[in-house]
C-alpha cells in the first residue's frame, strides 16, 4: 500500500473542492468521451477512498496493473487542465501565459500580424504587473516574428525590441541574483539558525556582501525591491540584528500597501512579509505595533478582494495562529491563549499536506511554551516530545536544542526528578553533537544537575545565582538567542518573587509603554 501523502494523484483529488470536482466532470462531458471512460471511473473510485489503496483499484476491474501508471498520469493531466480552465485559477500570470500560447499558435500558422497584436497587448500587461520573465519571453518571440514579417508600422522596430530585451534581461538578472542570495540565506537559517560565534558572523557577512549585486534603488522595480528586502531581512535575522529585520520587513510590507494591486497578484509574498514583520516586532518586544500589524493583516485576508485558494488558506492559518500565540507570549496572557490549541491542532490536520514539518514543529514548540507559561508542565512535555522524537527533522537544529532544554526545565517543574538525570545526559550529548553548547545552556544544565545536592532552604539562593549569571548574557550578541526560545529570566524571577511566570511577563509588558 502506498502512503496517501506520497501518491500525487490521490493528494490532488483530495485537495479538490466540491465545485472543482463538479467542474472536472463537466469538463470530461464536454470532451465528448464516454462517461464510463476508465480515467473518469478511476477518479470516482479514488474520490470515495479515505486512503490510497492500489489493491482496491485493481480489484475494481477498472484497469490492469500494467496500465495503472499510464491511466493515473492521464487522469492527473486532465484534472490539471480542468483546474486551469477554472475562473478561480485565472490569475494575471496564467492569463498572460495563455495569450503567449495563443500568439505562438497564430505564428506557427503564419498569421504574423495577428500574433504580434496579441503579443503587444500581453507584453504591456506583463510589464504593468511586474511579470518581467514572461515579458522577456514575449519580446524574444516578437524578435523572431519580426525577422520573418517586417511590419514597417513602427520605425526602428528592431532597435526598439533590442533595447527592450536588454532592459528586461538586466532586470531579470538582478531579480535572479537577489532571489538566489535570499534563498541561500534562508537555507542557512533553516539549517543552523542564528550565527553562534564571531567566525559564523564573519562567514555570513562575507557571503552576503560578496553576493549582493550592485544596484541603484531608484532603478529597481517592485519585484527587484522585494527580493532585495528579503535578502537583507534574512541577513539581519541570521546575525540577530532584529531592529534591522524590522526595518526591512517593514519595507517589504510597505511595498504592497503602496501598490495594493500587488496584494492580489502576489498574496503569498504579502502574507510572508507580514509574518516576518510580526516576528521582528516580537523579537524587539514592540507589542502595540505587533497588535496593529496583526489586526491589519487579519482585516486584509478576511476581505472579499483577497485571493482564496488552498495554498493561501494554509499559509493564512499558519501565520495568523503562530502570531496570535506570540501576542499572548508578549503580553503574558498564556491562559487566554489556550483556546488556540484546538484550533491549531485541527488546522495542522487539515493543512498537513501543504505545511512542512519544520513549521509544524515550530507550532508544537509554541504550544509547549504556552502550557509551560500556565504551569501545565506535563502537557508541555507531551508537545516537546513531538519535536524531540521527530527523527526526520533535518532543519532548524536550534529548535531541537531548545526543545530539549525546555523539556529539562519542565521535568523539574513537574517534579519528575526520576526522569531528570536521564534527560540531562541525553540533552548534554545532543548539544555536544550539534556543537550548540553555549554559556546559557551550560549554566542551565549545571544548575539542574546540582539540584540533587541543594537543600530546600538553599534553593532560592541558587536561583538568584543562576539569575545573576544569565543576566550577563541577555544582550550578548550570540548568547541572547537562548532567550528568544525560552524566557528563562522570567522563569527565574517567578521563583525568586514567588509569582507565576505569566504574571511576571504581564508586569513587564505593562511596564513597557511603547
Q: Where are the domains of the chain?
A: 8-89, 92-153, 165-239
Cα separation of 313 and 181, whole Å? 28
388 neighbors 350 (Cβ within 8 angstroms): no
pLDDT at 436: 58
pLDDT band at residue 452, thresholds of 50, 70 and 90? low
463 neighbors 496 (Cβ within 8 angstroms): yes
pLDDT band at residue 1, thresholds of 50, 70 and 90? very low
Cα separation of 467 and 407, whole Å? 19
pLDDT at 340: 96
Among residues 328, 310, 259, the alpha carbon closest in space to that of 502 is found at 328
pLDDT at 37: 79
Residue 212 has pLDDT above 50, yes or no: yes
Residue 418 has pLDDT above 70, yes or no: no
Q: Which of 178-187, 249-258, 497-506 shows the lowest per-residue confidence on average (mean pLDDT)?
A: 497-506
Residue 149, C-alpha cell as written in the block = 514579417
Cα separation of 452 and 166, whole Å? 72
Residue 3 has pLDDT above 50, yes or no: no
Mean pLDDT of the chain: 84
pLDDT band at residue 434, thresholds of 50, 70 and 90? low
pLDDT at 2: 39
Q: Which of 256-265, 313-322, 416-425 shows the lowest per-residue confidence on average (mean pLDDT)?
A: 416-425
Residue 277 has pLDDT above 60, yes or no: yes
Residue 32 has pLDDT above 90, yes or no: no
For residues 422-449, give the mean pLDDT: 71
Between 351 and 479, name the one with better pLDDT: 351
Buried b (16+ CB within 10 A) or exposed e, 61-74: ebbeeeeeeebbee
Residue 384 has pLDDT above 60, yes or no: yes
Cα separation of 363 and 321, whole Å? 9
Between 150 and 447, name the one with better pLDDT: 447
For residues 462-471, give the mean pLDDT: 83
Residue 201 has pLDDT above 60, yes or no: yes
pLDDT at 500: 81
pLDDT band at residue 413, thresholds of 50, 70 and 90? confident
pLDDT at 155: 57
pLDDT band at residue 83, thresholds of 50, 70 and 90? confident
Residue 35, C-alpha cell as written in the block = 462517461
Q: Is the pTM of this model over 0.85?
A: no
Residue 153 has pLDDT above 70, yes or no: no
CA 92 to chain CA centroid, nearest Å: 23
For residues 375-392, give the mean pLDDT: 88
pLDDT band at residue 514, thresholds of 50, 70 and 90? very low
Between 300 and 507, name the one with better pLDDT: 300
Buried b (16+ CB within 10 A) or exposed e, 145-178: bbeeeeeeeeeebeeebeebbeebeebbebbebb
Amino acid at each position: 500500500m502506498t502512503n496517501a501523502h506520497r501518491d500525487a494523484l490521490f493528494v490532488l483529488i483530495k485537495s479538490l473542492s466540491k465545485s472543482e470536482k463538479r467542474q472536472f466532470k463537466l469538463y470530461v462531458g464536454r470532451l465528448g468521451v464516454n462517461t464510463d471512460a476508465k480515467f473518469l471511473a478511476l477518479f470516482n473510485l479514488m474520490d470515495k477512498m479515505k486512503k490510497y489503496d492500489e489493491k482496491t483499484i485493481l480489484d475494481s476491474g477498472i484497469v490492469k496493473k500494467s496500465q495503472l501508471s499510464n491511466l493515473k498520469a492521464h487522469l492527473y493531466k486532465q484534472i490539471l487542465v480542468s483546474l486551469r480552465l477554472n475562473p478561480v485559477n485565472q490569475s494575471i500570470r496564467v492569463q498572460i501565459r495563455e495569450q503567449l500560447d495563443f500568439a505562438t499558435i497564430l505564428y506557427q500558422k503564419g498569421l504574423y500580424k495577428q500574433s504580434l497584436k496579441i503579443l503587444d497587448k500581453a507584453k504591456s500587461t506583463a510589464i504593468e504587473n511586474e511579470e518581467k520573465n514572461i515579458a522577456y519571453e514575449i519580446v524574444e518571440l516578437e524578435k523572431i516574428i519580426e525577422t520573418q514579417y517586417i511590419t514597417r508600422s513602427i520605425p526602428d522596430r528592431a532597435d526598439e525590441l533590442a533595447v527592450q530585451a536588454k532592459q528586461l534581461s538586466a532586470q531579470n538578472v538582478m531579480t535572479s541574483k537577489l532571489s538566489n542570495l535570499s534563498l541561500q540565506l534562508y537555507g542557512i537559517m533553516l539549517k543552523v539558525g542564528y550565527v553562534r560565534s564571531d567566525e559564523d558572523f564573519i562567514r555570513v557577512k562575507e557571503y552576503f556582501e560578496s553576493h549582493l549585486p550592485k544596484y541603484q534603488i531608484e532603478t529597481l522595480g517592485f519585484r527587484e525591491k522585494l527580493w532585495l528586502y528579503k535578502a537583507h531581512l534574512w541577513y539581519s535575522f541570521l546575525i540577530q540584528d532584529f531592529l534591522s529585520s524590522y526595518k526591512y520587513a517593514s519595507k517589504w510590507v510597505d511595498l504592497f500597501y503602496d501598490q495594493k494591486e500587488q496584494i492580489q497578484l502576489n498574496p503569498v509574498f504579502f502574507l510572508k512579509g507580514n509574518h516576518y514583520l510580526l516576528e521582528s516586532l516580537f523579537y524587539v518586544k514592540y507589542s502595540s505595533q505587533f497588535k496593529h500589524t496583526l489586526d491589519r493583516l487579519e482585516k486584509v485576508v478576511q476581505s472579499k478582494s483577497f485571493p482564496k485558494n488552498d495554498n493561501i488558506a494554509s499559509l493564512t492559518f499558519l501565520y495568523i495562529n503562530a502570531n496570535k500565540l506570540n501576542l499572548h507570549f508578549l503580553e503574558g496572557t498564556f491562559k487566554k491563549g489556550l483556546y488556540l490549541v484546538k484550533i491549531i491542532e485541527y488546522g495542522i490536520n487539515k493543512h498537513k499536506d501543504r505545511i512542512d514539518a519544520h513549521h509544524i514543529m515550530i507550532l508544537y514548540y509554541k504550544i509547549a511554551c504556552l502550557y509551560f507559561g500556565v504551569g501545565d508542565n506535563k502537557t508541555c512535555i507531551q508537545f516537546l516530545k513531538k519535536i524531540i522524537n521527530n527523527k526526520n527533522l533535518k532543519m532548524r537544529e536550534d529548535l531541537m536544542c531548545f526543545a530539549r532544554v525546555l523539556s529539562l526545565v519542565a521535568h523539574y517543574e513537574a517534579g519528575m526528578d526520576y526522569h531528570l538525570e536521564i534527560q540531562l545526559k541525553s540533552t548534554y550529548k545532543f548539544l555536544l553533537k550539534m556543537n550548540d553548547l553555549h554559556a546559557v545552556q551550560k549554566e542551565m544544565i549545571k544548575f539542574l544537575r546540582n539540584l540533587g545536592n541543594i537543600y530546600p532552604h538553599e534553593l532560592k539562593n541558587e536561583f538568584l545565582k543562576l539569575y545573576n549569571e544569565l543576566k550577563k548574557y541577555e544582550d550578548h550578541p550570540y548568547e541572547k538567542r537562548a532567550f528568544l526560545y525560552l524566557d528563562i529570566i522570567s522563569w527565574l524571577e517567578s521563583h525568586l518573587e514567588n509569582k507565576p511566570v505569566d504574571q511576571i511577563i504581564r508586569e513587564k509588558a505593562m511596564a513597557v509603554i511603547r
